[in-house]
Amino acid sequence: MNKTIQPVRAPDLRRMKRRGEKIAMLTAYDFTMARLLDRAGVDVLLVGDSLGMVVLGYETTVPVTLDMMVHHAAAAARGAQRALVVADMPFMTYRTSVPAALSNAARLIQQGGAAAVKIEGGHAVLEVAQRLVESGIPVMGHLGLTPQAVHQLGGFRKQAKHPREASRLLSDARALEAAGVFAVVLEVIPEDLAAEVSGALEIPTIGIGAGPYCDGQVLVSHDVFGLYDECAPGFVKQYAQLGRQMTEAAEAYAREVRRGDYPAAAKSRKRDSISR
């Protein structure tokens, strides 16, 4: 670890909110991606269970297992020097019992190298959130469109559009804060509701498709970099088209190999080393 770098810790996010500093969070699922995003100064790296869709090719996040999350979290954590690494607890790994949730979260921290975990849900996960926090594991909440509940929600669609759902979401957010979570993701909810929740909480809100009034923003990196074009949601801004560039680069490589242009005939082979 580089001693001059000040790592971001979970309590720093609340301080950032107090100072009015917006929090930048992106997903990362492996060493190389985490290292690049960490170097760019992204504050929080989320090893999201979205890896099931953008890395593993599933249609939802539901098939993602704890073993998969531990494996990817460990790789991402090795790439991060400054950013706070948060790992998603996957489907059902924190819902069956508090002891199961504690031991599953422990694996993400101990073997996965994450510094915090994220869980989806409101009142149903309060006891788990509180027990994790009491055990020294920082917890990030996640409300609104909770992708692990996709089958119950009937698809990936905007949540809390009606007043009763909106007030339920606000009360869930307050309850999560009281349970000790250090931040809460608000996914695909109306922006005025996101503003109200952000104003009501001392902990930061991190929005995704929830408008500009959250204390931070998160996006799935594969969407941001143009690597995953299966179903990028409308609120995503593509900052690069790396997918297209990679395809073009691979085409150029294949062409050169087939033509015999790569590797070029050696003029004089002085270097025998194959180190990178």
Where do the H-state alpha helices sit in 146-268? 150-153, 163-179, 191-200, 221-224, 242-259
Rg of the Cα atoms in the chain: 21
The two structure tokens encoding residue 30: 């492996």
CB of 200 to ligand KIV, least distance (A): 20
Residue with smaller CB distance to ligand KIV, 46 or 80: 46
The CB-of-156 to ligand KIV minimum distance in angstroms stands at 10
Residues that bind ligand KIV (CB under 6 A): 27, 46, 48-50, 88, 185, 187, 208, 218, 220
- Minimum CB–partner distance for residue 252 and ligand KIV (Å): 32
Provide, rounded to whole angstroms, the least separation between the CB of residue 162 and ligand KIV. Answer: 23
Q: Residue 78 and residue 100: Cα distance in Å, rounded? A: 26
Which two tokens mark 41?
């100064």
Q: What is the Cα–Cα distance from 217 to 186, expressed in whole angstroms? A: 9
Nearer to ligand KIV, 34 or 220 (CB): 220
Residue among 140 and 252 whose Cβ is closer to ligand KIV = 140
Quick check: 79 and 33 in contact, CB under 8 A? yes
> How many CB atoms within 10 Å of residue 269?
6
To ligand KIV, the closest distance from the beta carbon of 141 in angstroms equals 11
Residue nearest to ligand KIV (CB): 48
Evaluated on CA atoms 237, 46, 21, 41, the torsion sign reads: negative
Nearer to ligand KIV, 113 or 141 (CB): 141
Numbers of helices and strands, H then E, in the chain? 11, 8
- Among residues 21, 59, 177, 187, which one is catalytic? 187
198 contact partners, CB below 8 Å, separation of at least 6: 204, 205, 213, 214, 215
Nearer to ligand KIV, 28 or 201 (CB): 28
Question: Which one, 16 or 183, has the nearer CB to ligand KIV?
Answer: 183
Task: Assess whether 187 carries a catalytic annotation.
Answer: yes
User: Least CB distance from residue 218 to ligand KIV, whole Å?
Assistant: 5
Neighbour count for residue 74 (Cβ, 10 Å): 19
CA angle 225, 207, 21 (to 5 degrees): 95
Beta bridge partners of 208: 187
Taking the CA of residue 111 as centre, how many other CA atoms within 13 Å lie in the half-sphere pointing to its CB? 13
Rounded-to-integer distance, Cα 129 and Cα 119, Å: 8
Task: Give the residue numbers marked as catalytic.
Answer: 187
